[in-house]
Amino acid sequence: MVKLNALITAKSEPGKPFTPLKAANDNDADGKLKLVRALDFDESAIPLRQWIVPGLLIRRHLSVLVAPPGAGKSLLTLQTGLAVADGEPWGGFRPRGPHTVMVVNAEDDVDEMKRRLAAATRAMDVDRAELADRIYLAEDPASIVVAQTDPKTKTVTRLPLADTLIETMKGNGIDVLVVDPFAETFEGDENSNSEVKWAAAIWRDVARQANAAVLLVHHVSKALSAAPGDMNAARGGSALVGVARTVVTLFGMSEADAKIMGVSEAERHMYVRFDDAKANLTLTTGAAKWFRKETVRLANGTMEQHGDDVGVLHPWTAPNAMDTVTTAIANAILDELAAGVLDDGGNPTGSRFALTDTRRGVRWAGHVVMRHVEVSPEQAASILKTWRRNGVIEEAEYHDEAERKTRKGVRVVDANRPGRAA
């Protein structure tokens, strides 16, 4: 257990104004700008980026996790921390070997953190004894404030805790620092980009001086537009996500996602999605990582009372509507789409099925899909979208003889049908 209490300086003790570290290639004392030849280097000698978890955590840089209350952000950071300490893949994250992790959580006491870790290690089948020296908690920190703004001068002051953290991290070989939440590390105007920028810069300086990755947990704004994968969903000034190298989001499953994935409304609250929102050093991916909330009962019960029930996250693979469509079924659907809309007697009307027509209309191609497989309208639309993307069907203009006008309708590309030899 890393004990910070005895080292943390009270907020009333004078701090020192924050001055960013001077870069090695800053102007010389004589005022001349120092230049280097841009192309004078050996490519093979360029150091590799020091990813700890590719796409999420990198040494000497800030990452930010943005999530609404109750989404499971504390569970996610703890379980990701366990995976990093273990050096094993989990939930789509692939740590590059085992690393030492430190978690500073101002919202939960150590006993609650131990409950969550006990449940998580069981759910993830992790040996606690093997990781005893690779994951640490800050023991009930009285304060995690590293930046304080003078309300009169608007000057951001760096508090002693920042340097205490750096020394603690160096002394314990910490590779990853998780801070939950960012809001409690900063006393100032959260909506001021200037103040938030300097608070974030202090955390970036901690990452650089400790040669570690720092993950800050932050809340979403109250705006109704906050959405998965949107870095602007972060609460307050946007400067925090501007300073961060990587920004990710964690949101509960939406009604639309639940319909597409066949999850009932009663169980929708049990699922959360993780999305990339910003990645300066790699490409963001549009593919969400999904998790399902489960409950683990701890072995801390008594004769009178059962053990605590504690939540954990399990990686979850969203079902693909295409999995229900065999080659034979797919071609039966495509045959019907190719034949076009029929009248009650089974005769062609001259109208084609539509991809974009209202789902209540008889021409919507999704009705054909749902006659052959048991899927929701949203899943039927997903199947059609997949076929269109893969070139199995396309939308083309045609002359509707019955309506005597030009319309758009589905055309089946026979050469791209499932099972058709290349």
- pLDDT per position as a tens digit, 349-388: 889 999 976 656 788 999 999 999 988 888 899 899 989 9
- pLDDT per position as a tens digit, 251-291: 999 888 888 888 889 999 999 999 998 766 555 555 789 99
Residue 7's contacts (CB-CB under 8 Å, 6 or more residues apart) are: 164, 168
d(CA 158, CA 256): 45
Q: Both tokens of residue 283?
A: 């490409």
pLDDT for res 360: 62
- Do residues 104 and 166 touch, judged by C-beta distance below 8 A? no
SS3 138: strand
Superfamily of domain 16-29+43-316: P-loop containing nucleotide triphosphate hydrolases (3.40.50.300)
- pLDDT per position as a tens digit, 309-355: 999 999 998 877 787 888 889 999 999 999 999 888 888 888 999 99
DSSP letters along 312-360, please?
Answer: EEEEEPPPPGGGG--HHHHHHHHHHHHH--B-TTS-B-SPPPBSSS-TT
SS3 232: helix
Residue 260's contacts (CB-CB under 8 Å, 6 or more residues apart) are: 321, 376, 378, 379, 382
Task: Look at the chain and count its residues.
Answer: 422
User: Which residue is listed with tokens 């120092």?
Assistant: 34
Enumerate the CATH 3.40.50.300 domain ranges in the chain, comma separated.
Answer: 16-29+43-316
- Do residues 54 and 96 touch, judged by C-beta distance below 8 A? yes
- 294 sits in which H/E element: strand 289-297
pTM: 0.77
d(CA 161, CA 167): 10
